[in-house]
Structure 1
Amino acid sequence: MTLAAHDALIHLMLVAASSDSAMTERELVRIQALVGRLPVFEGFDKSRLTAVANACADKLNGPGGLDKVLDDAIAALPAKLQDTAYAVAVEVTAVDLHLEQEELRFLEMLRDKLALDRLTTAAIEAAARARHRRMPN
């Protein structure tokens, strides 16, 4: 069964959030906020979020695991949403202002699978850092 583009974006955010083996409350809240706020999610039935998350978990735990989730998600996305996919994944990992090695590795894997140039991904990463920065004490 082919994923819908909305579901694919959500799968990528969920995998990004869980890539360090611990999905935090802040990451879950950020995913919900992004789904509720971003124009790319217009038309998505927010009541399906739990079902989409469960389907993602089932796929992660099934044959092919992470590679299958990534390949299916990317295949479901139109080319013009590849930068959006990377941006939402970065947004979720950046929410706690500290990226673990596993999160960095996941973003590297995603970057390698997407048809994005290095300047685009660097700009997305820099923008996320700037959005999440706090005032110094």
Structure 2
Amino acid sequence: MTTAHDALIHLMIVAATSDSAMSEKELKRITALIDRLPVFEGFDRSRLESVANDCADILNGPDGLDRVMDEAIAALPIKLQDTAYAVAVEVAAVDLFLEQEELRFLEMLRDKLSLDRLTTAAIEVAARARHRRLPS
């Protein structure tokens, strides 16, 4: 049974690995989000490795990507769908450059969630704004 915490973590992992490799920045962002966001209160950090392994097992199975997304969405209350999209975007945007695979994953997730286009656009713009740096 996938918990809401597991579901959010699965979506962050897929966002991070959708371009074939999870960068150190993406891993640090995932752990920082788990440590800071109120939605993760009560999550046992010692479970993180097993949650990540569960996600990998599902991804490597038949229809892996669709299964991860469908199971994650099914485990989340409707009111956390915007949060799910926000954490996925946050992880994907951490390196300020989205590969085609990352964009495709976010598009697929957007299509599966019960969110309007204005909400998802606002989440995307906010993530870009948070990750900008001053020009050197």
TM norm structure 1: 0.98
Q: Distance in 1 between matches of 2:63 and 2:117?
A: 27
Q: Distance in 1 between matches of 2:86 and 2:32?
A: 14
Which AA in structure 1 matches 2:36?
R
Question: Which residue pairs with 2:50 in the alignment?
Answer: 51
Q: Distance in 2 between matches of 1:106 and 1:123?
A: 18
**RMSD of aligned C-alpha atoms?**
0.5
Shift of 1:63: 2.0
Question: Which residue pairs with 1:124 in the alignment?
Answer: 123
Question: Which residue pairs with 1:66 in the alignment?
Answer: 65
What is the 5 A alignment of 1:85-124? 85-124=84-123
Shift of 1:120: 0.2
Does the residue aligned with 1:116 lie in a helix, a strand or coil? coil
What is the 5 A alignment of 1:13-92? 13-92=12-91
Which AA in structure 2 matches 1:94?
A
Q: Which consecutive aligned stretches of 4+ in structure 1 deviate over 2 angstroms post-superposition? A: none
Task: Output one character per residue of 1:54-86: Cα deviation in whole Å (capped at 9) or x when no partner.
Answer: 000001001221011110000000000000000
Q: Distance in 1 between matches of 2:65 and 2:99?
A: 18
Unaligned runs of 5+ in 2: none
Which AA in structure 1 matches 2:10?
H
Q: Distance in 1 between matches of 2:50 and 2:36?
A: 19
Does the residue aligned with 1:95 lie in a helix, a strand or coil? helix
Q: Distance in 1 between matches of 2:28 and 2:11?
A: 15
Which AA in structure 1 matches 2:45?
K
TM norm structure 2: 0.99
Percent identity of paired positions between Structure 1 and Structure 2: 80
Q: What is the aligned residue count?
A: 136
